[in-house]
Amino acid sequence: MVSTEASNPVKRKYPKKHNHYGFRDFFQFDPEKGTIMDWNDSQNILTTEDFIIGLVEGLEEEVGDASAATMYTIGCEWGQKDAFFFEKWFEREFDRNVRQTNLLFLLETWWWPFTSQGWGRWEVDMGDRKQGFMFINIFDSAVARTLGDVGKPVCFLYAGLFAGFFTELVKKQLSCIEIQCYSMGETYCKFLLGGQDRIDAAAFWLNEGATARDIEKRLRTGEVLR
Amino acid sequence: MLSQLDRLSFTVDGRYADDSELQFIADYIRSFPIRAQTYLKLQELESKLMQQTYQKVRLIDPMLFNHNGNDITAKWKQDTLRVLRYTAVTVLMDDTDTLRDRLLLWFQTIMKAFNAQRSCDVTYQVLQEVVKQNLPHAQANLVCPILELNRRLLGGSL
């Protein structure tokens, strides 16, 4: 939801303020309307961990094993839509096109609203970008933190979100897979983003018991499935 | 101060605060005159502090003002000025939690994106020296721990 006039009084006064991700700056609570608008005039809702459990387990009950693919697809559509939304607010805030911007700065700027909203902090590792893949670490994933140690990756929504957003950003079909998850007893979640062939290979290795570190090594040595 | 008041209002929900829980308010009131003086002093000396810091950093490493062949002096000044002003208000309000939440955590990721950690490390180290040279000892003691926090967070050692 985008309105022409900013609903946030701090934003009305300082429309070009960039460090607006603190709780009090980023969210604007309107008790009369019962709404929570963020800095970019999106409407937010507060949910509990029970909501996330209900969403994940309810979907599993409805569609069984297909729930992972469903969450991933929801994430993809969300990411694609958010890429367009982001492009607009980025250009409004910084008076420049997303394609004329330092890439890491652009990505940090994209993720900050998610950090404020409680999706966790992230770290992007673009060291292998020229080889056609990259890694994203998520600290404190809302989904994994909620579900706890269940012994398997659970952040399909995030994987879809990254695939959808980056596909729109680079205008090239990309896929994403979570290769390490807080819900597997690790300290943070790790995602691999790249072309379908690499993601398929990673999925196969993961299924065979490979760790994230094994997968990183294999990708860096150029190993893919025949 | 504001963060501490906020926390106090949660912890004393439905009861009276005891003396130890109210101590920080008394401490703040006692320290307010010097905080206000320091705040005003930083405002008064802002351009001098900036100029001296710029010259010293330039002597240490002129390449810190160069990013991929472009002169980024204006950007450095803009960034350093912003941090200095937030530092001043942090001295006044005695609230490093708010500084961290509203500026530093975000700015840390931006400085990292531009590979500017070394520049921040040197800048906020030098700014501490410049503050010590220009402000009375007691005032510098209020400012320097905050500049050190800026250095550690933005300079990449945290």
Sorted by where each starts, the structural domains of chain B and their CATH numbers stand as 32-154 (1.10.490.20)
- B66 backbone dihedrals φ, ψ, rounded to 5°: -130, 125
**Residue A26 corresponds to which amino acid?**
F
Tell me the mean pLDDT in the region A106-114. 97
Look at residue A215 in the predicted model and tell me its pLDDT: 96
Q: Does the structure show a pLDDT above 90 at B44?
A: yes
Are A112 and B112 within 8 A, CB to CB?
A: no
Please report which confidence band the pLDDT of residue B61 belongs to, taking 50, 70 and 90 as the band edges: very high
| A104 contacts in chain B (CB < 8 Å) | 112-114
- Contact residues for A137 (Cβ-Cβ < 8 A; gap 6+): A122, A123, A124, A125, A188, A189, A190, A191
Are B106 and A21 within 8 A, CB to CB?
A: yes
List chain A domain ranges: 1-46, 49-220
Tell me the mean pLDDT in the region A36-51. 94
Look at residue A1 in the predicted model and tell me its pLDDT: 42
Buried residues in A199-213 as b, exposed as e (16+ CB within 10 A): bebbbebbeeebebe
Reported as a single tens digit per residue, the pLDDT across A176-191 is 999 999 999 999 999 9
The one-character DSSP state at B135 is S
CB nearest A105 (choices: B102, B103, B113)? B113
- A207 backbone dihedrals φ, ψ, rounded to 5°: -65, -30
Look at residue B12 in the predicted model and tell me its pLDDT: 87
Reported as a single tens digit per residue, the pLDDT across A122-145 is 999 999 999 999 999 999 999 999
Look at residue A36 in the predicted model and tell me its pLDDT: 95
Chain A contact for B101 (CB, 8 A cutoff): yes
Residue corresponding to tokens 């002003």:
B85
Residue A126: which of A99, A158, A98, A104 has the closest Cα? Answer: A104
Please report which confidence band the pLDDT of residue B1 belongs to, taking 50, 70 and 90 as the band edges: confident
Look at residue A21 in the predicted model and tell me its pLDDT: 94
Alpha-carbon gap, residue B4 to B62, rounded angstroms: 41
Are B114 and A21 within 8 A, CB to CB?
A: no
Alpha-carbon gap, residue A6 to A70, rounded angstroms: 34
Domain boundaries A49-220, corresponding CATH code:
3.30.1380.20
Tell me the mean pLDDT in the region B26-35. 95
Look at residue B42 in the predicted model and tell me its pLDDT: 98
Q: Does the structure show a pLDDT above 80 at A153?
A: yes
Tell me the mean pLDDT in the region A17-46. 93
Q: Supply the mean pLDDT for chain A.
A: 92
Chain A contact for B68 (CB, 8 A cutoff): no
Q: What is the DSSP string of B32-52?
A: HHHHHHHHHHHHHHHHHHHHH
Q: 3-class SS at A190?
A: strand
Q: Which two tokens stand for residue A177?
A: 């897979």
Q: Does the structure show a pLDDT above 90 at B92?
A: yes
Q: Supply the mean pLDDT for chain B.
A: 95
CB nearest A105 (choices: B102, B103, B114)? B114
Are A25 and B107 within 8 A, CB to CB?
A: no
